Amino acid sequence: MLRTVLVFVCCSLAVGVLPCRAHPIIVDANPVDWPLVTAAQGNLGHICRSAGPIGEYIWVDVAADERTDFAAPDSRVDLVEFRVTADQENLYFLARMADIPDPPAGQWDGAPQIQVAIDANPIGGTDWFGGNSDTRVDPNAYWQYLIITRFGSGSPDVILWYAGWLGPFYVGAEAISGSTDVMEFSVPWSSLDGVMLPATLRFTVAAFRTNTSDNTWDTGGSSVSNALDAVTNYNDPGDVTSNTWAEVSDQVVNYYFDVFFEFNGEPGPPVVVAQVLYDPATTEPNNEFYRLYNRSPWAVSMGNHGVTGYKIGDEETIGGGEGMRAIPPGYGNVPPGGYLTIACTAADLLTNYGITADLEQAYGSDDPGVVNLTTYPTWATGSINLSNSGDEVIVLDGCDTVVDVLVYEGGGYAGVTSQTYNCGQDEMLYRTPPGQDTDDCSVDFAYMLVPVELASFSASASPEAVTLSWETATESENLGFNVYRSVGNADRVQMNAELIPGAGTTLDPQRYSFVDERVIAGETYRYWLEQVDFTGTTELFGPVTVSVPGTRAGSLTLAVAPVPATDGGTVRLAVPQAGPVSVGIYDLSGRRVVHVFEGTLPAGSHSVSWSRGHLASGAYFARAITGCGWVTTPVIVE
């Protein structure tokens, strides 16, 4: 039987054009600007996404866990929810308390206060919170910026300190409401002068009471922390009974969380689920596998990220009977645009599907050449054994933040829409494009048939053409490929006049591409890839969906021709507004290897030639950076 194994092209880094603006936030203590919802599990953070795009970090805090030094209960400092989002101008925060009394006009002795310490650089920083708080951050989260609300003094803005206590500076905006029980505040990115989007920031958060000078109320002298509540999971995401004193009794808030901000400022997951085979025709669960994708612009250390490292599992409820496994400490990096393949049983996956695993659960047998996942009992102690009729795949980062959830066939997770297609045996779900994430799995995921492991079948668009790219790792009696396209509800139409020749039988990787120039700007197309073997047997992959951009406002596009390139080629760029533009060719580590263009361009379409020079054969990507956003597209050099 024909066996064509396709693998991901690591240069398929583009996640699409990012819009110029993220969703707007008005700092008025009205939570209507924060529309996303998530699972109501206490002491747990989530990265939540919707179309638009809208991104929020949402922390759900256990209620009534505040210290009661000044009141019992002390509901004005009982933090029940904390959120973070941003646009390209400002960084925004929302803190919801159990019950905020109506604030008086002007000064307020006893006002609730939130302090947010931001670690933007792993080197250096300051450890103490401000306002005579007698409280520090963890040594792994020393801050370069400290934000302090000023409701005690009745001020309209917040305090910003720089590391080494440079300041104070009064920036941004703040608002508080007794009717919504919300505090909302912001700081401009321009005041965080060491931060350039995209960025990953580390946050430590604590709540206090303050006097009219915005200094914290003292709870017992300089040797006792004044923090009355904090964002913390007590080093155990299943701990929903501890009081804040358990976190701050040593005067340190040890818990911190990391947020990846995309170019437009919206929080997003740096790592997502890219592929899942949950119903293999061969032995279950041995032949199940999952693949993660690094959608961030820099390498991610999977085994040493945050407090611990990344985890993956199918248990959506902490303490449930399904599985959650951790990537062991010391496991290496996944490069930008790179993939991590995780097998249930590595030997079975290789034997039955020709797929080499990076990590395995070692279910039934253990391949000594493949690193094993470890159990993560603070979340769940069972094995990962995916249901064939509805389940979830959960990804946690090293701070136990839920960064991605795949829900399929009617499984459930709050805020996430299930993928609706019911996969048959050897059909697998795959995210297309791999960097897309909206928390709507029916939009983010398509399906395909295995054993042809379609690890790269991608589409990129310019106003003039759509370029399809795919790669095979090995081929057996592969005659070639056909490309099909549909628009709206129309039937599929074959686009190639002649069969695209395959390589027959080979163990060497092969790259293919097809350019469809019969496109209309603003139209959305779906493409399928049909593989044909020597006997005429066919297998169909897809669809991948792509929208052809125009040059209207907010539309930034990039295309490179020819594909593959030999001596160089042409970069076609559509710029929505006049301004500075930088275009380059980058290797997969993110290093620019060819300077293409640097200067100012008017709005409209432009073409710039580039020369290969001494560039080695391989996979690269082109990136255009403008004042309105950035966009990337794969480049193959032969």
Do 351 and 357 contact (CB within 8 A), yes or no? no
For the record, the structure tokens of 467 come out as: 């370029």
Do 226 and 208 contact (CB within 8 A), yes or no? yes
143 φψ region: left (φ > 0), alpha (ψ -120 to 50), beta (else): beta
In 3-state terms, the chain is what percent helix, strand and coil (to 5)?
Answer: 5, 45, 50
Beta-carbon-side half-sphere exposure of residue 357 (alpha carbons within 13 Å): 29
- Give CATH superfamily name and number for 456-549: Immunoglobulins (2.60.40.10)
Exposed, middle or buried, 547 (CB in 10 Å: 0-12/13-18/19+)?
middle
DSSP structure class, residue 77:
G
Beta-carbon-side half-sphere exposure of residue 606 (alpha carbons within 13 Å): 21
In this predicted structure, what is the pLDDT of residue 1? 25
Residues of the chain with CATH 2.60.40.1260: 269-449
Residues of the chain with CATH 2.60.40.10: 456-549
State which H helix or E strand residue 614 sits in.
none
Name the residue among 304, 135, 147 with its Cα closest to residue 216. 135
pLDDT, tens digit (0-9, with 9 covering 90-100), for 266-297: 999 999 999 999 999 889 999 999 999 999 99
pLDDT less than 50: residues of the chain:
1-20, 451-452, 507, 551-553
CATH 2.60.120 assigned to domain 31-261? The reply is: no
For the record, the structure tokens of 79 come out as: 């933090």
For the record, the structure tokens of 637 come out as: 């050099």
Question: How many other C-beta atoms are found inside a 10 Å radius of the C-beta of residue 633?
Answer: 25
Do 542 and 526 contact (CB within 8 A), yes or no? yes
CATH number, span 269-449: 2.60.40.1260
In this predicted structure, what is the pLDDT of residue 186? 97
Beta-carbon-side half-sphere exposure of residue 58 (alpha carbons within 13 Å): 21
Residues of the chain with CATH 2.60.40.1930: 551-638
In this predicted structure, what is the pLDDT of residue 572? 87
Q: In this structure, which topology does domain 551-638 adopt according to CATH?
A: Immunoglobulin-like (2.60.40)
Do 401 and 426 contact (CB within 8 A), yes or no? no
β-partners of residue 547 are 524
State which H helix or E strand residue 93 sits in.
strand 90-97
What string of DSSP letters covers 425-483?
Answer: TTEEEEESSTT---SBHHHHEEEEESSS----EEEEE-SS-EEEEEEEEEEEEEEEEEE
Name the residue among 627, 324, 295, 588 with its Cα closest to residue 438. 295
For the record, the structure tokens of 47 come out as: 């990265």
